[in-house]
Amino acid sequence: MTVVNRMIAGLGLGVTMTLGGFAGTAIAQEDTIKVGILHSLSGTMAISETTLKDTMLFLIEQQNAKGGVLGKQLEPVVVDIASDWPLAAELARQLIEVDNVDVVFGCWTSVCRKSVLPVFEELNSLLFYPVQYEGEESQRNVFYTGASPNQQAIPAVDYLMNDEGVERWVLAGTDYVYPQTTNKILEQYLLDKGVAAEDIMINYTPFGHSDWQTIVSDIVTFGSAGKKTAVVSTINGDANVPFYRELGNQGVAAEDIPVVAFSVGEEELSGFDTTPLVGHLAAWNYFMSVDTPENEEFIAAWQDFIGSTDRVTNDPMEAHMIGFNLWVKAVEAAGSTESDAVIDSIVGLETPNLTGGVATMLPNHHITKPVLIGEIQDDGQFFVVWETEDLVPGDAWSDFLPESKMLEADWTAPINCGNYNTETKTCGGAPAAQ
Amino acid sequence: MLNLRTILLALLALPFLLTPARAQDVDIPASIAAMGEANLRELTQLVSDLAATGDPAVIPALEALAEGDLYLDETSGTVVVQRGSTHLDPVSGDEISLGEAADLSRIRVNNSLRRDIAAALSGMTLMSDNPRTRLSAAQGFTARPDAANLPLLDEAIAAETDTAVLKAMQTARAVTVLGDGDSALEDRQAAVPIVAQSAGRAASTILNAALAEAPEALQATISSAIAGLEQERAVWNALQNVWFGMSLGSVLLLAAIGLAITFGVMGVINMAHGEMVMLGAYTTFLVQLVIRQNFPFLLDQSLLIALPVAFLVTGAIGVCIERGIIRWLYGRPLETLLATWGLSLILQQTVRSIFGPTNQMVIAPTWMSGSFEFYGLSITYGRFWIFIFAAVVFAMLLLVLNRTPLGLQMRAVTQNRRMASSMGIRTPFVDAMTFGLGSGIAGLAGVALTQIDNISPNLGQNYIIDSFMVVVFGGVGNLWGTLVGALTLGVANKFLEPYAGAVLGKILILVLIILFIQRRPRGLFALKGRAVEQ
């Protein structure tokens, strides 16, 4: 019964999705504000990004029920970038030039963001990017509502070092820009903290890697040097299930070698039986299990919108919610949806997040976030075992890399620069890094 | 509110306080009751208090806490152990019936608390009547050595009769003595070989840890023991690598063998092959879902039940594809390639629309979880059974092709269609059956892959390139070639991986295959004779 229902619901969803896309391009009304949604609805990233598209539709519906923005209704324009990054740049251009959207919410991977960046710069539009990323970037037209490394990776390593007494580190990641940069920052951070180079093992695997036997066995061997060992995982979504399965099968228990992941959330865990993973960790700025009235309300409204109490919420969804609310506030403060006006008015605005704190848009276009460390439970949820006392402001340029530690981003007058060099007092990055 | 509840709990516990004094001044029921509202730090304190009593009465509660079976009923404020649908009192073990209004929330623990509980439990269960409990207690001591436990261990060793348990206890004792700075040097030296021999895979961890803190006299002994272990490991590591390679090869074989029929025997470039694998995996998911909802007692056998279902479902879809699309395109490889590629996209998006883009869950049966030690090799059950399964599928396929009338007709049709047709063979029927067989076998691969990969609409894409690689490398049209090709690629991959890394390893394999195909365009086992010329 339930299977059949789900099938029907799924078919329905597919049809409405397509219709939504067509309706968006066909009707051009002057009395609406158009919001572009630029996510992959097919291809490898569909697994993560489809939910974000639904989140945006949900947020827009809620806002319209409250009377919209500036007295106008919001109109979503959905496009499918099909996990194809050149296509993402084309569709971003189409959204801005043809569909005349005033703001775009979208992208998941760093490569997607990097490929649409020039378009937003050229056409002076706005992009809200909701996923944790590697930092080392700040662009005037982009707002980074996910975590930068100092809001996720560094606190997680601190937790393992101080609370779990970890002395030996495996940095395992998928072979692309986010893990590479994050691991570069982490390696430097660990070396600065006095960890010996031979106590750090770095390992990269291709996208969708499914045979983890050798690597897990290497990790076990690496962990048998008599020092407490932990794995810091920047392994990307699809490869995680086989990785954790192999860990479970080879008997790597969280009590012995804990794995802390930066890309594994409730959505990814909903795909498998988490019993063998209990105790492994993840670092995020939001967990579905966080017990606050705001969160409870958000989950209830989301599940009501999507029509299933099985659907989970996760960190990038919260980031989209924060980004959306900040944009609404900025538009209302500026009295206009015009990009320059919004960029000027959004810095310093605040909106409550779902964990009982406040997200503030900083001059570097990042936001303040709490950092939470959660242990995986057998129901696929996380139990928060540690959190920062204060909100952590996002840092665009890492202070731990020699080539970026003197850089700051500040999009307010008089600096107005994404890579301001505090040593030479000039805009334009570090000469050494070129 | 909170205070009131604590006071109430304390009052409730009062009668227990008045009963004859326990070993220590810790009030067990009250402490357990207090766990309900405790934060992590308080919980750690409560656990250590309870463990200090040494009273076996606390064991069930601690075990339940570590397993995540200890719950707080928010309405009444009582702490209960949940076993299936029944609820037990954590101290007495009596069944409690909770009211309708019960609102259970789990008492959650973290890693360090789980370690504390395990350590406490080993201490308390070392003298248990059940040999299995004693064994796990001794293993607990090995994992968490503490010199304070030495007298207890000595006492237990003296009383032990079971040889396996005795050995575990002696290992635990050796590990403890080795790491204990206060023990005599001779004792510590004597402990080194015991640890090296009997602590298994953990031996080098323990010895390395001891080496860092050992006095100079002891260091030489430990170093030589480590050197010996490492030498031994080097041999086993090579063998382990061979096993990893064969296991990877068996997965490749499963994925490719269906293609060896449709592409190898029939010559159809079938880009939708991966989607047949994916459909097999989704069939497994559906079968398990039905079993979980209606026949939960069959859950452990769900994969076995899914095998014939997946074969029939994907086989039937294969027949439909052949009859609907491919038969119009025989002899036009480019069009076939495009048509099946388009078909694969359609199948993917259909599955995505029906089941959603997220991964689906297939629970591993208990007989496929965990691993076993085979001399110095560590073999996971999941991979082991997949290896066996791949071998069986291969053998069955050989049998079908070489020993059945259908197999004979298949070979006849693929070798010379017109002559076979004039001999009275219904070639369209044989074509459909052959394609159905290949697709059905892809479905079987899908069942096995649920145990190692994501069940998502993209599952098949990850395997299509590898499958073609295996078939082309092994030699088109030859099943033995596929077998040898899959195993060679698997083992080569696993030997390159430690040196080159997973990314570069994969690239190297591709380069090697390109070079190989340059030398031998027809693969490892080239078909000979006139059939090739067509």
Q: What is the pLDDT of residues A103-150, one digit of tens each?
A: 999 999 898 999 999 999 999 999 999 999 999 999 999 999 999 999
Q: Does B352 touch chain A (CB under 8 A)?
A: yes
Quick one: pLDDT band at residue B528, thresholds 50, 70, 90? low
Chain A partners within 8 Å of B363 (Cβ) = 273
**Cβ separation of B456 and A375 shorter than 8 Å?**
no
Which of B353, B361, B378 is nearest residue A273 as measured by Cβ atoms? B361
Task: Say if the Cβ atoms of A10 and B382 lie within 8 Å.
Answer: no
* Band of pLDDT at residue A14, cut at 50, 70 and 90: very low
What is the number of CB-based contacts under 8 A between chain A and chain B? 167
B370 touches chain A (CB under 8 A): yes
Residue type, A220: V
How far is the alpha carbon of B380 from chain A, nearest alpha carbon, in Å?
Answer: 6
Number of other residues whose CB lies within 10 A of the CB of residue B531? 12
Q: Choose the most confident range, by mean pLDDT, from A171-185, A402-416, B161-175, B184-198.
A: A171-185
Give me the pLDDT at residue B12, please.
47
Q: Which of A206, A271, A278 sits opposite B502 (nearest CB)?
A: A206
Judge whether B361 is closer than 8 Å to chain A, CB to CB.
yes
Q: Note if the bond before A363 is cis, omega within 30 degrees.
A: no
Q: Please tell me which residue of chain B has the smallest CA distance to A210.
A: B453
pLDDT in tens, B388-399: 999 999 999 999
Residue A294's pLDDT band (boundaries 50, 70, 90)?
A: very high
Where residue B4 falls among pLDDT bands split at 50, 70, 90?
low
Please return the burial class of A162, using the count of CB atoms within 10 Å of its CB with bins 0-12, 13-18 and 19+: exposed
pLDDT (tens digit per residue) in B329-352: 888 889 999 999 999 999 999 998
How much is the pLDDT for B137? 83
Residue in A224, A250, A268 to test binding to B, most B beta-carbons within 10 Å: A224
In sequence order, which residues have a C-beta less than 8 Å from that of residue A119 and are 6 or more positions away?
A89, A92, A93, A96, A125
Which residues 493-522 in chain B show a CB within 8 A of chain A? 493-494, 497-498, 501-503, 506
Q: What is the tens place of the pLDDT at every residue in B312-327?
A: 999 999 999 999 999 8
| CA distances, B66 to each of A223, A392, B33, B106, B530 (Å) | 24, 33, 16, 11, 69
Instruction: Identify from B454, B455, B464 which residue to disrupt to test chain A contact, counting A C-beta atoms within 10 A and taking the largest count.
Output: B454
CB B111 to CB A255 under 8 A? yes
What percent of chain B has pLDDT above 70? 93
- Of B155, B125, B156, B122, whose CA–CA distance to B140 is shortest? B122
Q: What is the predicted pLDDT for the residue at A229?
A: 92
Among A250, A279, A378, the residue with its CB nearest the CB of B371 is A250
pLDDT computed for residue B395 by the predictor: 95
Residues in chain B: 534
Report CB contact under 8 Å: B208, A246: no
Using a 10 angstrom Cβ sphere, with 0-12 exposed, 13-18 middle and 19 or more buried, the burial of residue B503 is: middle
Contact call for A385 and B110, based on CB within 8 A: yes
| Listed residue (A110, A112, A117) closest to A79, CA to CA | A112
**Which chain B residues are within 8 Å of A204, Cβ to Cβ?**
501-503
Chain B contacts of A208, Cβ < 8 Å?
A: 458, 462
Nearest Cα of chain A lies from the Cα of B415 at a distance, in angstroms, of 37
Any CB–CB contact under 8 A between B116 and chain A?
no
Rounded CA-CA distance B256/B273 in Å is: 9
Identify the helix (H) or strand (E) that includes residue B378.
strand B377-380
Contact state of B201 with A47 under an 8 Å Cβ cutoff = no
Between residues A351 and B378, the one the model is more confident about = A351
Q: How confident is the model over B445-484, as pLDDT tens digits? A: 999 999 888 888 888 888 898 899 999 898 887 889 999 9
Mean pLDDT of A253-282: 86
Q: Determine the Cα–Cα distance for residues B194 and B211; give it in Å rounded to an integer.
A: 15
Which residues in chain B touch residue A248, judged by CB atoms under 8 angstroms apart?
369
At B454 the pLDDT is: 82
Please state, in angstroms and rounded to a whole number, the distance separating the CA atoms of residues A352 and A198. Answer: 44
- Nearest alpha-carbon partner for B436 in B249, B268, B282, B254: B268
Distance from CA of A173 to the nearest CA of B (A): 11
For residue A403, what is the DSSP state? T
Min Cα separation A366/chain B (Å): 29
C-alpha to C-alpha distance for B365 and B233, rounded to whole angstroms = 31
pLDDT of residue B31: 84
For A46, nearest residue in chain B (alpha carbons): B357
pLDDT band at A4 (very low <50, low <70, confident <90, very high): very low
Measured between beta carbons, the chain B residues lying within 8 angstroms of A314 are none
List, as one string, the DSSP characters of B340-361.
HHHHHHHHHHHHHHHH-SSPB-
- Given a cut of 80, is residue B231 above it in pLDDT? yes
Phi/psi of residue B397, each to 5°?
-65, -40
* Residues 407-426 of chain B whose Cβ lies under 8 A from any Cβ of chain A: none
* Average model confidence (pLDDT) across chain A: 87
CB distance A261 to A281 below 8 Å: yes
Q: Which residues of B touch A273 (CB under 8 A)?
A: 361, 363-364
pLDDT in tens, A321-356: 999 999 999 999 999 999 999 999 999 999 999 999
**Residue A164, min C-alpha distance to chain B (Å):** 8
Q: Averaged over B91-108, what is the pLDDT?
A: 80
How are beta strands A32-39 and A73-80 bridged, if at all? parallel
Give the Cα separation of B525 and B531 in Å (integer). Answer: 14
Task: For chain A, say whether B456 makes contact (Cβ under 8 Å).
Answer: yes
A353 in Cβ contact with A286 (< 8 Å): yes
Non-local CB neighbours of A120 within 8 Å, separated by 6+ positions: A92, A96, A104, A126, A127, A139, A141, A142
Strand order, beta sheet including A32-39:
A73-80, A32-39, A103-106, A127-129, A142-144
Q: Phi then psi for A379, rounded to 5 degrees?
A: -100, 15
Look at the alpha carbons of A133, A139, A142, A144 in this order and tell me if their dihedral is positive or negative: positive
C-alpha distance from residue A330 to each of A38, A70, A322, A393 (Å): 21, 11, 12, 19
Alpha-helical (H) ranges within A193-287 are 213-222, 237-249, 266-269
Cβ distance of B244 and A255 shorter than 8 Å: no
Instruction: Tell me whether residues A238 and B118 touch, CB distance under 8 A.
Output: no
Q: Give B412 or A1, the one with higher predicted confidence.
A: B412
Average pLDDT, chain B: 84
Token pair for B258: 């269906």
Model pLDDT, residue A278: 87
In this structure, of A171-180, B246-255, B516-525, the range with the lowest mean pLDDT score is B516-525
Confidence of residue B51 (pLDDT cuts 50, 70, 90): confident
Q: In chain A, which residue's Cα lies nearest the Cα of B461?
A: A44
pLDDT at B525 over 70: yes
Mutate to test the interface with A, among B65, B72, B205, B237 (most CBs of A within 10 A): B205
CB spacing of A47 vs B357 below 8 angstroms: yes
Searching chain A, which residue's CA lies closest to the CA of residue B118? Answer: A255
In chain B, which residue's Cα lies nearest the Cα of A270? B359
Chain A positions in Cβ-Cβ contact with residue B451 (cut-off 8 Å) = 245
Q: Pick A214's closest partner by Cβ from B210, B453, B494.
A: B494
Q: Which of A43, A205, A375 has its CB closest to that of B502?
A: A205
Ordered alpha helix ranges (H), A27-133:
46-65, 85-97, 110-123
- Quick one: pLDDT at residue B19? 42
| pLDDT value of position B7 | 53
For residues B98 and A17, the model is more confident at B98
Give tens-digit pLDDT for B61-93.
888 888 888 888 888 888 888 887 788 888 888
Mutation site, A171, A198, A214, A221, interface B, largest B CB count within 10 A: A214
Q: State how far the Cα of A335 lies from the Cα of A332, in Å rounded to an integer.
A: 5
Q: What SS3 state is found at A419? A: strand
Write the residue in A44, A225, A249 that is nearest to B208 by C-beta: A225
**Is B381 within 8 Å of chain A by CB?**
yes
Length of chain A as a residue count: 434
pLDDT of residue B529: 56
B159: region left, alpha or beta (phi > 0 left; psi from -120 to 50 alpha): alpha
The partner residue sitting opposite A267, judged by closest CB among B40, B358, B457, is: B358
The rounded Cα B324 to chain-centroid distance in angstroms is: 39
Strands (E), A285-364: 350-352, 358-360
Nearest Cα neighbor of B114 from B71, B78, B154, B63 is: B63
**What token pair was written down for A186?**
């982490």
- The percentage of chain B sitting over the pLDDT mark of 90, rounded to a whole number, equals 30
Residue B531 has pLDDT above 60, yes or no: no
Q: How confident is the model at residue B6 (pLDDT cuts 50, 70, 90)?
A: low
Residue keyed to tokens 């290949």: B438
Average pLDDT over residues B25-34: 80
pLDDT digits (tens, 9 = 90+) for A181-231: 999 999 999 999 999 999 999 999 988 888 899 999 889 888 887 788 999
Please state the rounded mean pLDDT for residues A387-400: 91
Q: Are A92 and A38 in contact (CB under 8 A)?
A: yes
Pairing of strands A32-39, A103-106: parallel
Q: Which contiguous run of DSSP H or E holds residue A386?
A: strand A382-387
The amino acid present at A332, given as its one-letter code, is: E
Q: How far is the alpha carbon of B148 from chain A, nearest alpha carbon, in Å?
A: 21
Q: Greater confidence, B426 or B57?
A: B426
Which pLDDT belongs to residue A271? 65
Cα distance between residue A108 and residue A131, in whole Å: 6
Question: Which pTM was predicted?
Answer: 0.81
In the structure encoding, which two tokens stand for residue A188, read together? 């430097």
**Residue B425 vs residues A285, B402, B405, B406: alpha-carbon distances, Å:** 67, 17, 11, 10
Chain centre distance of CA B160: 34
Whether chain A has a CB inside 8 Å of the CB on B302: the answer is no
Rounded to a whole number, what is the distance in Å from the CA of B256 to chain A's nearest CA?
16
